[in-house]
Amino acid sequence: MEAGFLPRDRFQTLLDALRQSGYRCIGPQARAGAIVYDTLTRAEDFPRGMRDRQSPGVYRLEHTDSPRFFSWANGPQALKPFVFAPREPLWRSERAADAAIRFSEINPAPEPLAVIGVRACDLAALRLQDRHFLEGPFADPGYAARRKNLFLVVVHCTHPADTCFCASTGDGPRATQGFDLALHESDEGYLVQAGSDKGRALAAQWALVPAIAAQQQEADREVEDAARRQIRRLPSRNLRDDLFANLAHPRWEEVAERCLACGNCTAVCPTCFCHSEADEAALDGRHSLHLRQWDSCFTQGHSYIHGITIRADTRTRYRQWLTHKLGGWHDQYGRSGCVGCGRCIAWCPVGIDITEEAAAVCGGGAHG
Ligand code: SF4
Ligand code: SF4
């Protein structure tokens, strides 16, 4: 479909059309000093004029006079919580009157969600999560139900943070597939392009005027410029062999002296999928819920197996994270597990930078 143009003062029609189609709209908002995703019904609630400053261990928002809603790079949230719930019950057990224990599965019935403002890196991360949760021998029913109900409105990124490196992983800043609608924002409004039948049906309601060549050229120039402005990069898209050849590298010890093993990097990472399971018993002893919750390879319990904590120190936990993310994923999913969103750099309380650590172990530069 050719791109059409939606003037800024008609942006509310996008929200209204999504709501009339049965979606709860989720959009970016400036809250407590960060861009977060939450329910949104009015165009005025978008973070108009907000800009972010990100560097290792630092995230700051500042206000500008720009009329744009999307002139920032990603905040801490990705699409992950909307499909892979941070905590959810998987099954319930009940003790019946005859003392028998009965198990019943819990099937989530999620409401349709439209997420507005998705970036290319997060779309790539969603594709990776699809591989993990849907395309293995057993599809995850909770993930599948939530994923089916998602409508994705992408905004091509024109304001990368200093922590972003999606151009080096090949995942941004332009989204090329996997969206329902793609927007390019200018000061005057939005170039709108449909990427699915659902997106086409929605866009058809707005009687958009076709975009003119100059608008499209300016949009292309802004996205290309966003790729050029990225200052970080990974040494290569495939570090598998270099990482596994360097398991005894002294850098693992050095990074462990700085790392707090807090797990922030895994919580904000859009592709991390590790979880633990727990049972929550009712006080009357008759019911219990079996829960799945996000976990991290930085916790002690995550590598506890049959009385042994396999990765007992921070050195082996950090090494596990990096070698799995940038190495082992090639064996499991055919590519690296990093989409270059930079969140683990900005939200690490001590500013550990995955691009620097990878370069230190494997050689090559972390800065372009
Ligand atoms: S490893 Fe870091 S930069 Fe890569 S996808 Fe995860 S959070 Fe983003
Ligand atoms: S690398 Fe940073 S965010 Fe990750 S566990 Fe260590 S201190 Fe926490």
pLDDT at 1: 60
Pocket flag, ligand 1, residue 124 (CB < 6 Å): no
pLDDT at 8: 94
Q: Across-strand partners of 293?
A: 87, 276
Pocket flag, ligand 1, residue 339 (CB < 6 Å): yes
Q: Supply 269's token pair.
A: 């990472």
pLDDT at 33: 96
The predicted model gives 315-337 an average pLDDT of 97
Report the half-sphere exposure of 124 (CA within 13 A, side-chain side).
23
Supply the residue whose CA is at minimum distance from atom 7 of ligand 1.
Answer: 269
Supply the residue whose CA is at minimum distance from atom 8 of ligand 2.
Answer: 262
Pocket flag, ligand 2, residue 352 (CB < 6 Å): yes
Supply the residue whose CA is at minimum distance from atom 1 of ligand 1.
Answer: 338
In tens, the pLDDT along 273-309 reads 999 999 999 998 899 999 999 999 999 999 999 999 9
pLDDT reading at 2 higher than 90? no
Pocket flag, ligand 1, residue 327 (CB < 6 Å): no
| Neighbouring residues of 194: CB distance < 8 A, sequence distance ≥ 6 | 1, 180, 181, 182, 200, 202, 203
Pocket flag, ligand 1, residue 352 (CB < 6 Å): no
In tens, the pLDDT along 259-269 reads 999 999 999 99
In tens, the pLDDT along 36-55 reads 999 999 999 999 999 999 99
Q: Ligand nearest 257 Cα, by number? A: 2
| Average pLDDT along the chain | 95
pLDDT reading at 65 higher than 80? yes
| Neighbouring residues of 114: CB distance < 8 A, sequence distance ≥ 6 | 18, 23, 24, 25, 26, 150, 151, 152, 153
Pocket flag, ligand 1, residue 338 (CB < 6 Å): yes
Cα–ligand 2 centroid distance for 344 (angstroms): 8
The predicted model gives 248-254 an average pLDDT of 98
Cα–ligand 2 centroid distance for 262 (angstroms): 5
In tens, the pLDDT along 193-246 reads 999 999 999 999 888 999 999 999 999 999 999 999 999 999 999 999 999 999
| Neighbouring residues of 87: CB distance < 8 A, sequence distance ≥ 6 | 291, 292, 293, 294
